[in-house]
Structure 1
Amino acid sequence: MPSFSIALSGLKADSVALDTIGNNLANMNSVAYKKQNVNFSDLFYQTIGVSGANTPQQVGLGTQVSDISTDYTQGGFNPGGSSTQMAINGDGFFVVSNGGVQELTRNGDFQLDSSGNLITSDGQSVMGYAATGGVVNGNTALSALNIPTGQTQAATATTAITMTAVLNSGAAVGTSFSTSTPAFDSLGQSHSVTTTFTKTGDNTWDYSVTLPSGDAGAATGNTGTLTFDSNGALISPTTNISNISFTGMKDQASDMNLQWPLYNSTGGGLITQTAVTASSANFAANGSPSGKYQSFSVDSTGTITAQFSNGNTEVLGQVALATVSNEQGLTRMGNDLYVASRASGSPNVGVAGVGGRGDIEGNALELSNVDISTEFANLIVAQRAFEANSKTVTTFDTVTQDTIAMIR
């Protein structure tokens, strides 16, 4: 008597295949979705006798789903997103925390909450390595990444001015040449620092470093004389000028103390004299005013850098990535999340570009790796298999009815 269980096992397996294909098609637009594939195997066999050659005569009793595997091949990229969006180019997963439970995801469609925390669309914290003083230590424990959206960066007082200048050896005595650069006091107020060179004789120039009238109460160490040899090289002073001080700042800032290097690292003078029109280059001062947070960016290593309105940048931290020994052993939790299991092995957490982990593409999202033409082809095959097994059921039913009718 034919067994309905054979056909029913085929229907059950084909139903799983149809469900899997349907799920792939339903998620073809899901960010970083990884498609699944279903594989079948025969079930078991019944030996009903042997042939004349003593060969076992076996009848198969159905099929089963042997494996539902996940295809972790790289999806394409959708560039041009916001700075909170990231994609992984290569192996690895972002590490997120769900109520203290570590989970993994390829979906980098992150956002910021009201406190500047970097989170997933479902509210999990994106984990990484925080920076201390602008330096990331990848050996520290993972922590939730935070962007200082409301932060104001403190002003940095100017402590040094640098200049490369050429003075005209043919200028008449009494000729003056001036150049200026902005500098900042301890409160972030900008002041124009002006250096004036006045020729006082052959190969000698007086200098004067000043602030605008009224910006400071007094200045010390801000005047002196430069002497050049017959080749136009600076020979006096023989050391850098490091005691220029402006006191009694009108905005109640701290005294401004400046250093002025006159020589480069090899001992060559940064100010020279030759028969050309006086000019200067690279006259600048360190320091900066206070600045408000404006935006942030993420580079290929996952390093997060904030930009401020004063032109300064600050490293905030680094996004963590994780790999596992056996990706097929990961447990899918929905919402593009995975959890490590004994089959997958413990996550190997670190930074992008190291230890087999891929790079990070900022301002981009990874697309699903579902290929619609392949899924449609698989759908037709699964449909035909389901119909064939259905036909087997009806055939078995007809045979059964004919058998019962034999005794009537």
Structure 2
Amino acid sequence: MLRSMNSAISGMQAFQTDLDVVGNNIANVDTVGYKSNSAEFSDVLSQTMAGGNAGSTTTGGVNPEQVGLGVKVAATQMDMSQGADSTTGVATNVAIQGNGFFVVTDGTHDYLTRAGDFSIDSAGNLVLPDGTIALGYATAPTSSSATAPTTKMNVLTLAGTGNQVSNVTIGSDGSITASVTDSSGNTTTKTLGYLALAQVPNPAGLVKTGDNLYDAQSAPAGSATYWTPGQGSYGTLAAGELEQSNVDLSQQFAEMIVAQNAYVANTHMIGTDNAILQALVNMKNS
């Protein structure tokens, strides 16, 4: 009797986690670069009531008699498919078309992200809304064996001391171009540097750290490789665009209904077990 009750309890716990995942997906439906998650279940150890045996030429085989002991959440999987782009018209907003992640730093640790809502701060840094600074290269690397980027994309530093910078734009190849005015008042258009993109063998294994960021050192994802946009299998950039969340609301609502009904069904199982146990307790009065 307790086996079915314990199985029902495990079902309630599993579907509560499923609802947690669905709720987080729906909450992030408008989060730039967000990747939806899904909960995947697996059964737990089954209790063998009677063993089975193989058949022979004279006797038939018998399958084992087993009773399952419930369910568990085996994993939560990220859907790394590309979200739809939305047009912002902001020159420093960029969306990755294809594979890759932007590389940013908070000064002590590097992160990866698909969110490209960059802007120029008061110090000239190309930053995300949380203040992390984009990393790249002063000159474009010539091969996919490029080392991890260490150059902070600061347009004032890259343009040279004493120069003024305006009209910053980002090209499809990651090039950061701006109008640079020197101390004599002469203005020229210069390429200041190149944004870096990273790839990992298992993107779904990236560890989320909040603020649309993933830990660049996520062990399950594997070691990152780096290059500039448009090279090899690395995606290109679309300026004035942002990649939106890939959450499919209709799919999430359907999953929510399934999880809710499954949760309720498991509570009914516990109610049935309770009624049977109560009948056993009351047998002494019959």
Matching residue of 2:165 = 293
Structure 2 counterparts to residues 8-407 of structure 1, below 5 A: 8-49=9-50, 54-131=62-139, 136-137=140-141, 141-148=149-156, 293-308=165-180, 312-339=188-215, 340-407=217-284
CA contact (8 A) 1:152 1:293 kept: no
CA contact (8 A) 1:153 1:308 kept: no
Q: State the AA in 1 paired with 2:111.
A: E
Following TM superposition, by how much is the alpha carbon of 1:128 offset from its aligned partner in structure 2, in angstroms? 0.5
CA contact (8 A) 2:43 2:70 kept: yes
Instruction: Summarize the Cα distance change of 1:9–1:153 in structure 2 as closer, same or farther, 3 Å threshold.
Output: closer
CA contact (8 A) 1:321 1:349 kept: yes
Q: Secondary structure at the match of 1:368?
A: coil
Q: 1:164-203: per-residue Cα shift (whole Å, max 9, x none)?
A: xxxxxxxxxxxxxxxxxxxxxxxxxxxxxxxxxxxxxxxx
CA contact (8 A) 1:91 1:356 kept: yes
Instruction: Summarize the Cα distance change of 1:53–1:121 in structure 2 as closer, same or farther, 3 Å threshold.
Output: same
Q: 1:281-335: per-residue Cα shift (whole Å, max 9, x none)?
A: xxxxxxxxxx953311111110001024766200100000000001122111111
Q: 1:213-261: per-residue Cα shift (whole Å, max 9, x none)?
A: xxxxxxxxxxxxxxxxxxxxxxxxxxxxxxxxxxxxxxxxxxxxxxxxx
Q: Secondary structure at the match of 1:357?
A: coil
> 2 CA distance for matches of 1:117 and 1:60?
57
> 1 CA distance for matches of 2:82 and 2:42?
28
> 2 CA distance for matches of 1:325 and 1:97?
21
Instruction: Summarize the Cα distance change of 1:322–1:393 in structure 2 as closer, same or farther, 3 Å threshold.
Output: same
> 2 CA distance for matches of 1:99 and 1:61?
49
Q: 1:329-355: per-residue Cα shift (whole Å, max 9, x none)?
A: 211111111113222111101111123
Q: Secondary structure at the match of 2:197?
A: strand
Q: State the AA in 2 paired with 1:320.
A: A
Moved more, 22-31 or 334-343: 334-343
Q: State the AA in 2 paired with 1:296.
A: V
Q: Secondary structure at the match of 1:343?
A: helix
CA contact (8 A) 2:19 2:256 kept: yes
CA contact (8 A) 2:46 2:68 kept: yes
Q: Secondary structure at the match of 1:123?
A: coil
By percentage of residues, which structure has more helix?
A: 2
> 1 CA distance for matches of 2:85 and 2:69?
46
CA contact (8 A) 2:156 2:164 kept: no
Matching residue of 1:252 = none
Q: State the AA in 1 paired with 2:172.
A: S
CA contact (8 A) 1:148 1:293 kept: yes
Following TM superposition, by how much is the alpha carbon of 1:100 offset from its aligned partner in structure 2, in angstroms? 2.2
> 2 CA distance for matches of 1:93 and 1:53?
55
TM-score scaled by structure 1?
0.62
> 2 CA distance for matches of 1:21 and 1:341?
24
Q: State the AA in 1 paired with 2:211.
A: N
> 1 CA distance for matches of 2:118 and 2:261?
42
Moved more, 318-327 or 337-346: 337-346
- The share of aligned pairs that are identical, in percent, is 39
TM-score scaled by structure 2?
0.86
Q: How many residues align?
A: 268
What runs of 5+ residues in structure 1 fail to find an aligned partner? Answer: 155-290
Q: Secondary structure at the match of 2:284?
A: coil
Q: 1:80-104: per-residue Cα shift (whole Å, max 9, x none)?
A: 3312211111111000112321110
> 2 CA distance for matches of 1:153 and 1:45?
70
What runs of 5+ residues in structure 2 fail to find an aligned partner? Answer: 53-59
Q: Pairwise CA RMSD of aligned residues? A: 2.4
Q: State the AA in 2 paired with 1:115.
A: A
Larger Rg: 1
Q: 1:366-394: per-residue Cα shift (whole Å, max 9, x none)?
A: 01001111111111111111111111111
Moved more, 46-55 or 315-324: 46-55
Following TM superposition, by how much is the alpha carbon of 1:42 offset from its aligned partner in structure 2, in angstroms? 1.1
CA contact (8 A) 1:307 1:313 kept: yes
> 1 CA distance for matches of 2:160 and 2:222?
43
Q: Secondary structure at the match of 1:10?
A: helix
Instruction: Summarize the Cα distance change of 1:374–1:148 in structure 2 as closer, same or farther, 3 Å threshold.
Output: same
By percentage of residues, which structure has more strand?
A: 1
Instruction: Summarize the Cα distance change of 1:94–1:152 in structure 2 as closer, same or farther, 3 Å threshold.
Output: closer
> 2 CA distance for matches of 1:129 and 1:76?
28
Q: State the AA in 1 paired with 2:123.
A: S
